[in-house]
Homo-oligomer: A and B are copies of this chain.
Amino acid sequence: MQIIDGRAISNEIKKEIAKDLKMFIDAGGKVPHLTVIIVGNDGGSQTYVSHKIKACKKLGFQSTKIQFDEKITEKELLEKIKEINKDDNVDGLLVQLPLPKQISDTKVIETIIPEKDVDGFHPLNIGKMLLGLPTYLSATPYGIIELLKRYKIKTSGKNCVILGRSNIVGTPMSVLMSRKSEIGNSTVTLCHSRTKNIKEITKKADIIIVALGSPEFLKADFVKDGAVVIDVGTTRVKSDKTKSGWKLKGDVKFDEVAEKCSFITPVPGGVGPMTIVSLLKNTLKAAKSNFQK
């Protein structure tokens, strides 16, 4: 059994991005600039945003954090987005989710111009993903594909079972794993809350991707010997062993499942660290296209 080390891989990719950035700058390109909008003071969101800003600084990207009060109107937020859309100095723009009730996530995402949508959430970018056209792949799908690639896990002709049909993980992963591609060509089964016989289905899977947000859902008797297990779950549970008072739990009962696997991602330290790397890659890509205009 081999543990898939997302931290090590993400560090490796960060080095590649730094190299790529240097070449771009040497060729006359400008420093990529990511703008992050955050609304309100949710602790989790604040942490995620500060990780993103830190990662930008570490790699030499320019970054701007725009903080709004949680009472901001939808109209004000959309106006700000439109302003940044037009600002040639900003390459990538993301609005941290979730948003307060008075604001529609969909409207916000559709207002960001696809060229700056480094989160890969805009319907145009999702449509391009489905069609296999060049696009900004969103963070988690990107991270999973990259981990499978760098651990040289064979996916062609394999039975891949995905648990969870969310718009940002399960459904796009089902498309990506089945399409004609180096990582892909799997026979994919997408399971969800209405699936009646999950255990029967996962037991036949060569690759299982769990994105339910249901801590320790996947137990040893769901998994066949030699399976590859990718755990996307990140639920915060209380803990008296950490300074923060909580820790992250995955969707996989790691200790008992790991023994049966050929490869498995831990939580934390698996898919999680990959998501920021995807954002950096997309921001550099945006800066390059912006430069070519």
Contact = CB atoms under 8 A, between A and B. Distances in A.
Interface of A: 106, 122-133, 156-157, 165, 167, 171-172, 174-175, 178-180, 185-192, 194-196, 201
A194 B187 contact: yes
The A interface, classified by DSSP as helix, strand, loop or mixed, is mixed
The list of the 5 closest CB pairs from A to B, nearest first, reads: A127-B127, A123-B127, A126-B127, A189-B189, A185-B194
Contacts of A188: 174, 189-190
B201 A191 contact: no
A178 B165 contact: yes
8 contacts: A106-B133, A123-B133, A126-B130, A130-B130, A178-B192, A187-B201, A188-B190, A189-B190
Contacts of A133: 106, 123
A98 to B, nearest CB: 16
Contact of A174 (B122, B156, B174, B194): B174
Contacts of A131: 106, 123, 126, 167
